[in-house]
Amino acid sequence: VIDGDAVTPVETPYPPSMIKTAIYMTVANLIGQAPVRGHVKLDAPLITQANAKEYYFPDSPF
């Protein structure tokens, strides 16, 4: 994205912490604390070539 790749002109981040919501909901459903129905929508910014430098961390393992 940062280099203006035509195949991948935009991206959205997917930090490992996003799975936390799914794990909590799954555990709650499995142990019966709460019925789990519906959809969960988590906000994520759209990364474009114009703002890609804000999201670029060269030392990140992800």
pLDDT for 60 equals: 84
- Please tell me the predicted confidence (pLDDT) of residue 10: 94
Domain that holds residue 43: 1-62
Task: Please say if the pLDDT value at position 24 is more than 90.
Answer: no
Per-residue pLDDT at 11: 92
Evaluate if residue 44 carries a pLDDT over 90: no
Confidence band for 7, pLDDT divided at 50, 70 and 90 = very high
pLDDT of residue 54: 95
Please name which of 20, 17, 18, 1 lies closest in space to residue 9, comparing C-alpha atoms.
1
Residues 6+ apart with CB under 8 A from 42: 18, 21
